[in-house]
Structures are given as structure tokens and as C-alpha cells.
Amino acid sequence: MGARNDTARRRRAGIAILGFAGTILLALFATGARAWSDHRGETSYYVSIGDSYAAGYRPDGHSGTTTGDGFAYQVLDSLRRDGNWELANFGCTGQTAYGMQYDNGCAQGALAAGGVDYPSRTQEAAALQFIDAHRDHLGLVTVAMGGNDIMQCLNFDDVVTAQRCAEQKSAEIRQSLGNFLTQVRTLVGDTVPIVGVSYINVFRATNLVGLSGDDRKAALSEVLFANYLNPTLRETYAQFGAHFVDSTTLAGGDLTDTQMSKLPDDGTVTTTTAWVCELTYYCSDHDPHPNREGHALIARGIEAAIR
């Protein structure tokens, strides 16, 4: 009964977070966005590209699994309220922007739940072939890519070395994403909305989680997200007329450490930490991926962008 009450308290806290985040969404997308044109009575296709965020990965106590909790599946549910939509999910857990362009296939168990398999092709090639074949009925493309590239730089203890790493990885992300987006725009023009998403900076909650290198990783992650990852993604998507959902900001990543909230089991913590705990598996499982509520926040951001 106690566990059930704790779950209820966390659910109420999560609802409050999503409600408050909704005001951020309205502010971010107050200018509106060009909506897609669905084909009445016909099937419209939604193509999801990316890494574990796109694949809907979640920890399971072993090697992890991909599920329908991911934002792509939640966006699909919303789209189906207005028409006949099908999802082609090419997401692959562990994929980098560089690997999207150069690595064939997706490891066993890493492919998105119900996703499109491409054992002998790159994710980029497989997705582009699908887009080309369905270009007349393509309604939406989302991309979640680049996090695994930049996060490699968190492994360096020296800040200067980490920043040099981030500069190199940022260039690779621009090149790989730019190549993909160029080809998508060549195939479908500017009538199909493309939405890129960024990532929740879970590392700001490392002090609560109690992992090694807490202070260093928390401080370095803020530098990497604010100065490299998010600017790189934002600028690259803008270059191709794509929308950008700043998941870092939506999840409270820009809040100061003077803003405090209460967690049922942990007392008063920074609001950013509270949001990380409510929206991801980081505090419960030491896993950086969004939970269903975290993916819901991203999904609502995508929907706000395209409507």
C-alpha cells in the first residue's frame, strides 16, 4: 500500500511537471508552425529516425528493451485521431549521427519496437529509400540524433580535452545531419514538416544519484549541452527549415539551482533534479533515458511544432 501511495504521489508530481511544461511549450511555439497536409481517406506516413530516444528504449534490469513508450509512438497515437497514419520507425539504440550515415544495420534488440529492419544498409539509406517510395504520402519526419556523439566527451576528466572532443563531434553531427536533411528536402521539398529533438540533461541530477565523478560530470554536461550539442542541433535543423524541440529546456534544464522542489523520498532538491527524477530513469535506475512521462513531454513538443 505504501508503494502504491508513493507511485500516486510521483504520478501527481509528474502531472504537475507536464502541466507547467505545457506553458513552456506554448511560449516556445507561440508563433505557430506550418501544419502538414494529410490525404483524406488515404494513409499518411510518419518516419522516425534516430537513436534510443527514437527507438523508445527503457531499462529492464538486464540489457534494456525498446517499447511503445517512446515519443514516436505517442505522436502516432495523436496523429491517428485526425486521420489514417502509419509509423515507419528506423530508430536504433546506440546509434550516432556518424553511424547513421556509415554503419550498416542495427544490433539485435536495439531496433525500435515494431521498427523497420535494415540489416545490410545504413539507417540513413534505409530511411531515404522509404521516404522516396512514399514521398507523395509522407506527412512527418522526426529525428533524434547526436546525443551519443557528444556524450562520449563526458568521459574525459580534463575540461579542455572534453571541449575539443565536443568541437569534433559537433562537426560530425553537422555533416551527418546536414547530409541526411539535404537528401530529404531534395525528395519531398519544403512541404513536409521535419522536427529534430534534443535531449534531457540528466547529469544535473548526479549529486542525488550518487554516481562517481558527480560534480565534474554535472558541470561538464552543462557546458556540452549549452555550448555544443543544442546549438549544433538547433542551427543545423534551422538551416533546412526544420523545427527544433529543445528537450533540455522543456525538462527544466535551464532552471537555476536556486529553484527548489520536493521529492517524496528525497526531500528538497533543485527543481531541475526533481524534473530529471520524474521524467527519466536516471534517479531510479541510473539510466539516462526518458520514461513514458518524459517521452510524453517530447511528443507534446513535436505536436506543438507541427500544428
**Is 240 buried (19+), middle (13-18) or exposed (0-12) by CB count in 10 A?**
middle
Q: Residue 299: in which H helix or E strand, if any?
A: helix 292-306
* Of 224, 230, 255, residue with least CA distance to 245: 230
Min mean pLDDT across 28-32, 95-99, 159-163 is at 28-32
**Count of domains forming the chain:** 1
- Establish if 230 belongs to a structural domain: yes
Domain at 277, CATH number: 3.40.50.1110
Sheet holding 43-50, edge to edge: 84-89, 43-50, 138-144, 194-197, 243-245
**How confident is the model at residue 263, as a pLDDT?**
77
The pTM assigned to this predicted structure is 0.86
- Mean pLDDT, rounded, for 247-257: 90
CA angle 156, 157, 162 (to 5 degrees): 45
- Specify which residues 265 forms β-bridges with: none
Confidence label for 261 from pLDDT (cuts 50, 70 and 90): confident
- Establish if 87 belongs to a structural domain: yes
Min mean pLDDT across 56-70, 211-225, 263-277 is at 211-225
Q: Residue 100: in which H helix or E strand, if any?
A: helix 97-102
- What is the domain extent for residue 59? 44-306
- Specify which residues 82 forms β-bridges with: none
- Establish if 4 belongs to a structural domain: no
- Establish if 18 belongs to a structural domain: no
> Helix or strand or coil: residue 4?
helix
State yes or no: pLDDT of 291 exceeds 70: yes
- Establish if 31 belongs to a structural domain: no
- Establish if 28 belongs to a structural domain: no
- Establish if 78 belongs to a structural domain: yes
State yes or no: pLDDT of 188 exceeds 50: yes
Place of cell 519496437: 113
- Establish if 162 belongs to a structural domain: yes
